[in-house]
Chain A
Amino acid sequence: MKTTFMIGLVMLFALSTNWVFGQDSWKIDSTQIVFHISNAGLDVEGTISGISGNLKFSKNKLDKSFFAIEAKAGTIQTGIKLRDKHLKKQDYFDVERYPSIKIESKKIIKSKDGFESVCAITIKEQTKDIVIPFTFIQTNKKAEFKGSCSLNRLDFGLGEKSLVLSETVKIDFWISASLVTN
């Protein structure tokens, strides 16, 4: 009886892990996150790096796919040293208190041009849902995730209302990954 119970428990555990992890797992090889914001009518481009996280994705098991990614806010670069320094301070990213930017998928669905994910993005402990459309191209055991989205910086306490700085930030991302398990 005891043995049967233990086998049942192990099977249940195996089944449950398969339920969660029963899709392709990807290791992030390299990333590029570029953001754009209009400042006095001119496009300012910047980057954020230090990306890590879990990436589980199979295009035919979308209901079981998910990702949870973190970026390091302190890596922000815009081409002007003092501006970067300011963006790390309290009135923008406040990187001492909030070193990470977190993105977690809540739902991934197929779209006309690829996929769409409803994600919870967390910056400075403010969490908002945003929709991120992306494409997925797999070549053997390598894959590329590519997409873009927009957010309102004021939703996350990034600066304040400004006469010249737009509230909308457009983010383009590209992730290159290697297949780990399936």
Chain B
Amino acid sequence: MKYSRLSIIRICILIGAIFILGFQLKPAFDIPKTWDLAEIEQFLLPTADSTITVTPISESYYYSIPEMKVYKSYPIRLTGLEENRKYIDSLKALNPVDYFQNEPRTEEDLVRLGEEVFNAPIGLFDYSEEFFKELNESIKSAEIPVSKNTFPYYTYVVDEKSKVKVGVFSCAMCHTRVMPDGSTIKGAQGTFPMDRRDGVAGEIFLKSLSKDKLAETDKNVRTGRIALHKAPWISHSSQMELDTISAARIIAYLKAIPPGVMLRHGSNFNQPTNIPDLIGIKDRKYLDYTGLMMHRNIGDIMRYAAFNQGFDFLNSYGGFIPGGIDFKTLPKPGEEGLQRYSEMQLFALGKYLYSLKPPKNPNSFPAEMVKKGELVFKREGCVTCHTPPLYTNNKLTPVDGFTPPASHYKAYDIFDISVETNPELALYTRRGTGYYKVPSLLGVWYRGPFGHSGNVATLEDWLDKRRLDEDYVPTGFKPAFAKTMAVKGHEFGLEISKEEKAALIAFLKTL
């Protein structure tokens, strides 16, 4: 059998094409499946009330939701009005840049693209000059910390030519910290007081409202808050209040939340959550202050992001669906503008979060002082839970009022002692598991406020035994309508001398 020269060339081209195509189709990365219900079952801790079954949406539902696109974001510059007009015009001239149009090929690509996912907003609205003016006003009225000439929590997005949109609800919105010198730390406990901003804006809106619209407004705002915070199986007063709460009262609650703390969906008005530091997340075994989700591998980071960027609203909590129609029925996939991250986007986000490094520590203390502080740290027993080198034992501590079921001792890492802090976040909210995780002390120098609800502003306050008194005025989050409040529990290092306390804090600020 003889082949012509042309046939041989054709065969060679064909073989070459198959080889190239095959090479391109071969997945470059081993990407875990995000919505894997068998994995999710282990990943999610049960609610504190174990009679409530949490059922996430099915795999087919999740994967039938359209994927979102991650477009290039641009900073929001805090300039004069005229200069801003020119800036917006320059953005309008740009073409949209879809970051995931080409698949990443290397780890470096993944980390770089992951940062863009971190920055990518999941909510967009059209830019208007009104927005820009209101933003500048709210920075003043809600005392929002901003970096040098930039509003670092939102971005501008160009997703179609000659249109500029404002992007909100990115990971970066809550996990960007503005330091006193105006520099920013990505991934750290954020400083955007979103709730306070909403409270201030809501107050202005409410004042402008005619009396006949008040009842309707109350109802609408309440419905939104039920979706955000309600756990109907819990009969605690904080949950019952949601059924009748007025807009004015909600506004008062919102205004009480300081930077670094958040009225996270699934938490509640007087049980907000401290915003966690994502730097070092690779070494954490549990996510959320209540340890709601396990972190066994990058797949769990992908699941965490998927759930917390919207899909936990579609969980059924014993029949209650926070994001459901009438809180009962799932919307059709793709309805109400629901989008999901692609698997590659979530994988890249995980890689980026794993790559986060703490900023250079500017603190400098005398070596003797730090050494002494370390000794105090060991002597006072801190080292048992905040064990080096991670400065956490990565365990869950049951709160007062919760007895771990026998099965939990095998399934989870339980450090079987309550440190007697306020148990409400862990008991009376949707995110409540009956536990608080032991937080790492790495990076406390750039963090604050402290405690699972951010009740004290500084380490000095945390180690001040006056916080245990009923007439104490919390320096961090102080619940609305409370003039004073004891910040109870975690009674370690409260009886040491002033000198030892200074040394201990110096040591902690070197971590």
Tell whether A and B belong to one assembly: yes
Are B417 and A40 closer than 8 Å at their CB atoms? no
Q: Which of B479-511 contact A (CB under 8 A)?
A: 491-492
Known: A80-B381, A164-B387. 18 other contacts (CB 8 A): A39-B378, A39-B381, A39-B383, A39-B384, A40-B383, A42-B379, A44-B381, A80-B380, A82-B381, A82-B417, A82-B491, A82-B492, A85-B417, A86-B415, A86-B417, A90-B416, A162-B387, A164-B388
Cβ contacts under 8 Å, A83 to chain B? 381, 384
- Chain A residues with CB under 8 Å of chain B are 39-42, 44, 80-83, 85-86, 89-91, 162-165
Instruction: Assess whether A91 is in contact with B381, with CB atoms less than 8 Å apart.
Output: no
Nearest-CB residue, chain B, relative to A83: B381
A-B contact pairs, 18 of them (CB 8 A): A39-B383, A40-B378, A40-B388, A41-B378, A44-B381, A80-B380, A80-B492, A82-B420, A82-B491, A83-B381, A83-B384, A86-B416, A86-B417, A90-B409, A91-B416, A164-B384, A164-B388, A165-B384
Are B416's CB and A89's CB within 8 A? yes
Residues of chain B touching chain A, judged by Cβ–Cβ distance below 8 Å, are 375, 378-381, 383-384, 387-388, 409, 414-417, 419-420, 491-492
Pick the most buried of A40, A42, A89, A163: most chain B CB atoms within 10 A of its CB. A40
Tell me whether A163 and B384 are in contact (CB under 8 A): no
Chain A residue contacts of B414, Cβ below 8 A = 91
| Chain B residue contacts of A44, Cβ below 8 A | 381
Q: How far is the CA of A162 from the CA of B378 in the complex (A)?
A: 14
Chain B residues lying within 8 Å of A164, measured Cβ to Cβ, are: 383-384, 387-388
A39→B382 CA distance, assembly (Å): 10
Closest to B377 in A: A40
Closest to A88 in B: B417
Assembled-state Cα–Cα distance A86/B418 (Å): 8
- A39 and B378 CA atoms in complex are apart in Å by 7
> Hey, which chain B residues are within 8 Å of A42, CB to CB?
375, 378-379
In angstroms, Cα B420 to Cα A93, docked, is 20
Minimum distance in angstroms from A38 CB to a CB of chain B: 10
Of the residues B375, B378, B419, contact of A82 by C-beta under 8 Å = B419
A77 CB to closest chain B CB (Å) equals 13
Docked complex Cα distance between A162 and B491 (Å): 23
Residues of A within 8 A of B491 (CB): 81-82
In the bound complex, how far is the Cα of B381 from the Cα of A162, in angstroms?
A: 14
Docked complex Cα distance between A33 and B38 (Å)? 51
| Cα of A163 to Cα of B390 in the assembled complex, Å | 11
With a CB–CB cut-off of 8 A, which chain A residues contact B419? 82
Q: How far is the CA of A85 from the CA of B400 in the complex (A)?
A: 13
Q: Please, how many angstroms separate the alpha-carbon atoms of A137 and B1 in the complex?
A: 109
